[in-house]
Amino acid sequence: MLYFVATPIGNLKDITLRALETLKEVDVIFCEDTRHSLKLLDFYDIKKPLKSYHKFNEKERVDEIVEYLNDGKNVAVISDAGTPVISDPGNVLSTALSERGVEFTVIPGATAFVPALILSGLDASCFTFVGFLPEKNKDRDALIKKVEKYTQTLIFYSAPHDVNKDLKYLGEKLGDRAVSAVKEITKIHETAYRGRLNLLQIDEPKGEFVIVVEGAKGEPCSFEMTEQEHIDYYLEKGYSKKDAIKAVAEERGVSKNSLYKYTIKNEQD
């Protein structure tokens, strides 16, 4: 069996008993940085073979991991901090295993965006996790264009050397909104900087950041409506059937084809 295992995002004590049991029992552990993960494993006196698994070699590692599984070995995959696959290496592997019909499971635990959302003080009833902004301007603009009208709270990851640049960019694209930039979650210097998106800048930023941004004003959160109500909402605003379905599909993260059945009611009316 392959286990995607969540590890602490800062405080080494934030790990589950089940995660520790799994790491002690598997035959090999694949991790982003062997030196970084060794600190956690040494803290809990876990002695297992470590192999690197990061964004630069994850495609090449798939066959090797599958070979371990075919030989009857148990494998754990961890990231430097938090839950693998979520803005961390692992998605290539989970997709490949799914396509090959290979079973895998998850040992849940710490992830940065949930505590950051709580610490932000912003609306936590409905939110969209966006992750890291793309490096290329074209890709970055396309992503923000997609989410700029979302009424739910938006959550981004940002590295310390990018956080002020990301805040400035988001302010230019999203306008004057409430924002919180949270760093060093679970650590002694945990801090939530709160302010307005077009003004907030961090002096001497250190540590990884989670940027939490207030959603767009004036429209109800899409997930508080049924799919039918969501489509009707845009139709009543003058959207064509095609554009209403496109907007709802993007906001809900579903395929457009799955929504066409909801327009039959309007055509019959």
* Residue whose pair of structure tokens reads 């912003």 in the numeric block: 122
In the listed set 169, 186, 213, which residue is the last one of a domain according to the structure? 213
**Which of 167, 183, 213 marks a domain boundary?**
213
Bridge partners of 105, per DSSP, are 3
Domain assignment present for residue 255? The answer is yes
pLDDT at 159: 95
* Domain limit, last residue, from 52, 76, 107: 107
CATH number at residue 56: 3.40.1010.10
Question: Is there a domain that residue 218 lies in?
Answer: no
Flag whether 245 is in a domain. Answer: yes
Q: Which of 156-170, 180-194, 215-229, 242-256 has the lowest mean pLDDT?
A: 215-229
Give the largest CA-CA distance in the chain: 68
- Most confident residue range from 14-23, 60-69, 246-255: 14-23
Q: Looking at residue 220, what is its pLDDT?
A: 54
Give 268's pLDDT tier (boundaries 50, 70, 90): very low
Where in the sequence is the domain holding 232, given as residue range(s)? 225-268
Residue 219 counted as domain residue: no
Q: d(Cα 210, Cα 112) in Å, to the nearest integer?
A: 7
38 and 8 fall within a common domain = yes
Residue with the two structure tokens 């945990």 = 190
Residues 209 and 232 in one domain: no
What pLDDT, on a 0 to 100 scale, did the predictor assign at position 229?
A: 84
C-alpha span between 61 and 27 (Å, rounded)? 16
pTM of the model: 0.78
Cα Rg of the chain (Å, integer)? 21
Whether 118 and 88 share a structural domain: no
Closest CA to 263 of 174, 225, 240: 240
Distance (Å, rounded) from C-alpha 98 to C-alpha 234? 36
- The answer on 71 and 29 residing in a single domain is yes
Q: pLDDT at residue 37 above 60?
A: yes
Strands 191-196 and 2-5: unpaired
Answer yes or no: do 21 and 118 share one domain: no
Torsion of CA 236, 240, 246, 251, to 10 degrees: -20
Are 156 and 131 in contact, with CB atoms under 8 Å apart? yes
How many CB atoms sit inside 10 A of residue 250's CB?
15
* CB within 8 Å of 245: residues ≥ 6 apart: 231, 256, 259, 260, 263
Provide the domain count of the chain.
3
Same domain membership, residue 174 and residue 137: yes
Indicate whether 67 belongs to any domain: yes
Statement: residue 131 has pLDDT above 70? yes
Is 135 exposed, middle or buried (CB count within 10 Å of its CB: 0-12, 13-18, 19+)?
A: exposed
CATH number at residue 205: 3.30.950.10
Confidence class for position 236, pLDDT limits 50, 70, 90: confident
Same domain, 103 and 120: no
What share of the chain has pLDDT > 90, as a percent? Answer: 73
